[in-house]
Structure 1
Amino acid sequence: MTFPKLMHTALDATDVRGLAEFYRELLGVRYRPGDETPQEGEDWLVLVDADGKRVLAFQWVPQLARPDWPAHEVPKQMHLDFHVPTREGLEEHRRRAEELGATVLLDRTADDEEPLYVLADPAGHPFCLLVGNP
């Protein structure tokens, strides 16, 4: 039996290009061929890795309530986890994420087993940067 495989994860955004740019810069990926040049009325963009494999997609929505994690009045519903190999890499990528517009929601770098940061991307979607095994 052949099972379905994850093609990509799609994130809602009121600014599709802006959120795609955030993750393109953060992750060092590129646009799917045809998505590179901004177009009026963009409602769907896809980012791919160096091999052309889909990584993330972005879908336009007219409004988006920012999750208020760690509270649960506006739940996050999902989040992304990104692995980095070292504590030094963790700090480097946290700084880069903040420079790109992310906000730190939780600093759990004192955890010896799995140091991590929980951040919110510019649209408010929580994501983690952590030192651990992929």
Structure 2
Amino acid sequence: MIGKLQCIVLDCHYPAALARFYAALLGGEVDRPDPRWSLDEDWSTLHTDGGLVVAFQRVQDFHPPQWPDPAHPQQIHLDVDVEDIEAAERAVIAHGGAPLKAYEGWRVYADPAGHPFCLIGGSA
């Protein structure tokens, strides 16, 4: 092993707002003080209950991905296990997510900054 994952970083326009969206989706604490990072309008974090840290970084000329268009690549995406995919979908939409495509047992959404992510039903 060369190293261990410190955090996953998503580029976006509005870091704090995107951190709150993912807190609603995954749980955890937004912008918990952490000596590894300074928190400001250009950087926000989400410390999940499982220990994973997702960070959100402001990019002035951010261009959101457009799934599944390879001309606008995903950059990164998350798969999220859920017990009830219908209830999870309602919550995602209520918090600003947008449905992109439904498949048998899983669905693709865009977060408020346009990053695609998947809800995987029944495997939580």
Query: Given the two structures, how large is their TM-score scaled by the length of structure 1?
Result: 0.78
Specify the alignment match of 1:66 in structure 2.
Answer: 64
Specify the alignment match of 1:14 in structure 2.
Answer: 13
Residue pairs, 1:41-52, within 5 angstroms: 42-50=41-49
**Residue 128 of structure 1 is aligned with which of 95, 118, 123?**
118
Count of aligned pairs: 120
Give the number of the structure whose alpha-carbon radius of gyration is greater: 1
Identity %: 38
Specify the alignment match of 2:90 in structure 1.
Answer: 95
Measured on the aligned residues, the alpha-carbon RMSD in Å equals 2.2
* Runs (5+) with no aligned partner, structure 2: none
Give 1:93's aligned amino acid. Answer: A
**Residue 75 of structure 1 is aligned with which of 69, 73, 82?**
73
Q: Distance in 2 between matches of 1:72 and 1:3?
A: 30
Specify the alignment match of 2:26 in structure 1.
Answer: 27
* Runs (5+) with no aligned partner, structure 1: none
Query: Given the two structures, how large is their TM-score scaled by the length of structure 2?
Result: 0.84
**Alpha-carbon displacement from aligned partner over 1:43-99 (angstroms, at most 9, x marks no partner):** 111111236x24211111102112121222211122111112x3xx11111110011
Answer yes or no: is the 8 Å Cα contact 1:46–1:54 preserved in 2: no
Q: Distance in 1 between matches of 2:32 and 2:40?
A: 18
